[in-house]
Structure 1
Amino acid sequence: MDTIQALQKSIDYIEENLKTEIALSELAEISGFSLYHFCRLFTSYVGMPPTAYITKRRLYHGIYEIQKGKKATDIAYMYGFDTYAGFFKAFKKEFGCSPSKYLKLNTAKRPMAVDLMKEVKIMLNQTQIKHLLSNWNIETKGILIKNTRPNVWTIGQDYIFKTGKNVVGLKSHIAISKELEKGGILGSIPIKTIEGDDFIVEDDRYYVLLNRIKGESLAVERLFGEDRYIIGIKYGEAIGNLHKVLKKHDTKIEVNDNNLLKTTLDWALPQTKKIMEQWNCPLPDKFYEDYIENFSRLYDELPRHVIHRDPNPSNIIFHNDMVSGFMDFDISERNVRIFDPCYCATGILSESNGIEDNFEKWNEILKGIITGYDNVCKLTASEKLAIPYVIYAIEMIFIAWLNGKEEYKDLAIKNRKMLLTIWENRHKYFENL
């Protein structure tokens, strides 16, 4: 039995016994680990300690039963809280508001059982990775293997090893990277396996070995340094050069064709409105009215082609103080082209915790990115007017997508603050773009 299967036993036991006292020692015994080892593994794989997970599941089941008509005080006691005040406090910490306010804004869904195989990131040790790498003709003896991001490892200085389940996204990344290489822009090209394939598939997961682009992504301190406006220009020009190649090969690249306006109006905007109210940071009605009226008017005039879709600073590599390449085209799509420079700007802001006067300094970075992009891909008058609305759309999509994802709780808080601050300071950020 592997670790995930063992932990799944404890997950199933928790789900069946939420209305009784659950001892951690019981869960450890069910999983076949010592108490210390169980708590460490559970936290690593699930993303929170077992006690926090139990409380969260009780809250989700509790609010569902309250919605069905049961008394909140009875539910609190039924799910192991000593008082209703204790239930209320835990609920507000998890959802940002009282149970009654939550149910005014949302419909509580029946909690579904958790399947760890679908939920957790894969955890591979060095031996397992080296075994998988035997599918490629590379030397692994003595090589440094470093886990840099979930499901991503650097292999020495020359390679990146990735795994995931989105094979369609991987194929998009490979196709785009190969077209970029023809256009003189570096992307992470797959290294052929011994059998001559771009990647391997085992147990519904792909494994791919990519060449490592020379250089590094810029640290946040550098992004917000004295030359932040110049750095912004370099990002903008690099995205512009990327877009020139993507536009040239637009008809050859198979990706989803998405409509940013429709995605926002049908899903992200109504979700954001509820979430911002729920977490006591509501935006005025004027924000939503202005967005709907003006972005709807501008949208059809905005140029479209294949875009990167995720040009956050960790996916843009610098070498010798210049952009040397782009990574991760897995979620590339066809959409309005100004999405990418706007996304790059918001991605930089989202990483700025701990930076003094980060919103003030970001103003210069944003202007640099837009100026740099305009230097290469001349912006239309409609695009310049649409920049605020594209940035609002990006933030609303993030806020809606992050909602309820425990592992991204801090990022969700950050993006709610970002949207509110950007809107409140819109004249400063957008008037002189």
Structure 2
Amino acid sequence: MMQNILKNWKIQGELIQIYRTAWSVDDEYVLKVYDNLDSLKRNEKILKTLYEMGIPVAEIVNLENGQGYCGDGTKYYMLTKKLRGNNIVDIKNNLGMAYKMGEVLAQLHMAFLKCEDDLGYWDNSLLKEMKGWIRKNLSESGWALIKEEEFDLVVNQLEEVYDVLPKQLIHRDVNFGNFLFDQGEFSGYIDFDLSQRNIRIFDLSYFLIGLLSVELDNKINMEEWIKIVTDVIVGYESQTKLLRVEKESIPCVMKCIELLFVAYFSGIDNKECAMDAVRLYELVCEKEEEILGGVFHNI
């Protein structure tokens, strides 16, 4: 099936599935499948724009007719040149990697600011999500995992500062699977499928809280994690400064992200993952002062 798709580019090679929707082709290309054409086109425009700016992203391989994808009306395919580098998963044993991660995330945000007016993007709002489908899902579950009063407290905390939090195009799925490093040096950004306009500290908060996920093979203890928080923030601010209100709001945004996951997994009846998100939410609540200490480098 996928070999037939490759014929559209007049390319043959060994296909190895690397993600649910992506295949490596002879370790030279990546073939990606989309169910949604709008999502593909949005990703295509972001990749082309960033590539033309000299940002390290995958180069799209066009068809002979100049089009950047092919499809049959139900599935759509894009071929890109494969970036060198690998995913870093053991951050605590890679000295300096947290700083570099903050640095390259800031560089991506700065690039997005320069080009977001030229891009078609989803203008999203974490606050509207909290008040909308997230609240709805938790309510429909009878507030079994999170108390309604507790949820409202977090939402109110976010709402108090939301208007002054800087908003821009963000990656929205910042993890080591989507940021590549080659021999310790950053080599490229991948996967802009979820990119949207939102508060910029969403990316920082999402990445940092993700490092505590129970899914990680290499467990990070709290002391190590707080040090990583500091290094990521320092790396980020080596490129562009955060507002004080942004730093103060990082624990709140982390809570919102985990409540988002509680609501999502409750909605698809995945109790195990919902409980994992509850535990991370409770951990952020318990360690909020330590997190702020790390953010403000008071350790």
TM (norm. structure 1) is 0.63
Partner of 1:317 in structure 2? 180
1:160 is displaced (CA, Å) by 0.7
1:171-195 residue CA offsets vs partner (Å, 9 max, x unmatched): 1111111221233221123211233
Partner of 1:241 in structure 2? 107
**Larger relative CO (CA 8 A, sep 6+): 1 or 2?**
2
Residues 285-364 of structure 1 mapped to structure 2, 5 A cutoff: 285=149, 287-350=150-213, 352-364=215-227
Q: Which amino acid letter does the alignment assign opposite residue 77 of structure 2?
A: Y
Partner of 1:156 in structure 2? 26
Partner of 1:428 in structure 2? 290
Q: Larger C-alpha radius of gyration, 1 or 2?
A: 1
Three-state SS of the structure 1 residue aligned to 2:68 is: coil
1:174–1:189 Cα contact (<8 Å) kept:
no
Point out 4+ residue stretches in structure 1 off by more than 6 angstroms.
none
Three-state SS of the structure 1 residue aligned to 2:260 is: helix
Pick the structure with more strand per residue: 2
Provide the aligned C-alpha RMSD in A: 2.3
1:243 is displaced (CA, Å) by 0.8
Q: Distance in 2 between matches of 1:272 and 1:169?
A: 28
Three-state SS of the structure 2 residue aligned to 1:349 is: coil
Partner of 2:42 in structure 1? 172
Three-state SS of the structure 1 residue aligned to 2:60 is: coil
Q: Distance in 2 between matches of 1:409 and 1:374?
A: 38
Number of corresponding residues: 295
Taking structure 1 as reference, are residues 315 and 292 closer, same or farther at Cα in structure 2, changes over 3 Å only?
same
Give ranges in structure 1 of 5+ residues lacking alignment: 1-127
Three-state SS of the structure 2 residue aligned to 1:153 is: strand
For the pair 1:137 / 2:137, whether they are aligned, the reply is no
Give ranges in structure 2 of 5+ residues lacking alignment: none
1:249 is displaced (CA, Å) by 0.9
Taking structure 1 as reference, are residues 272 and 234 closer, same or farther at Cα in structure 2, changes over 3 Å only?
farther
Partner of 2:93 in structure 1? 225
1:247–1:306 Cα contact (<8 Å) kept:
yes
1:214–1:324 Cα contact (<8 Å) kept:
yes
Residues 10-409 of structure 1 mapped to structure 2, 5 A cutoff: 128-138=1-11, 140=12, 143-219=13-89, 222-225=90-93, 227=95, 230-269=96-135, 271-272=137-138, 277-279=143-145, 282=146, 285=149, 287-350=150-213, 352-405=215-268
1:432 is displaced (CA, Å) by 3.9
1:352–1:358 Cα contact (<8 Å) kept:
no
TM (norm. structure 2) is 0.90
Q: Distance in 1 between matches of 2:151 and 2:219?
A: 30
1:351 is displaced (CA, Å) by 5.9
Partner of 1:86 in structure 2? none
Q: Which amino acid letter does the alignment assign opposite residue 54 of structure 2?
A: G
Partner of 1:122 in structure 2? none
1:378 is displaced (CA, Å) by 0.4
1:315–1:326 Cα contact (<8 Å) kept:
yes
Q: Distance in 1 between matches of 2:139 and 2:83?
A: 41
Three-state SS of the structure 1 residue aligned to 2:203 is: helix
1:157–1:212 Cα contact (<8 Å) kept:
yes
Taking structure 1 as reference, are residues 330 and 183 closer, same or farther at Cα in structure 2, changes over 3 Å only?
same
- Aligned sequence identity (%): 27
For the pair 1:413 / 2:275, whether they are aligned, the reply is yes
1:316 is displaced (CA, Å) by 0.8
Taking structure 1 as reference, are residues 206 and 262 closer, same or farther at Cα in structure 2, changes over 3 Å only?
same
Three-state SS of the structure 1 residue aligned to 2:276 is: helix
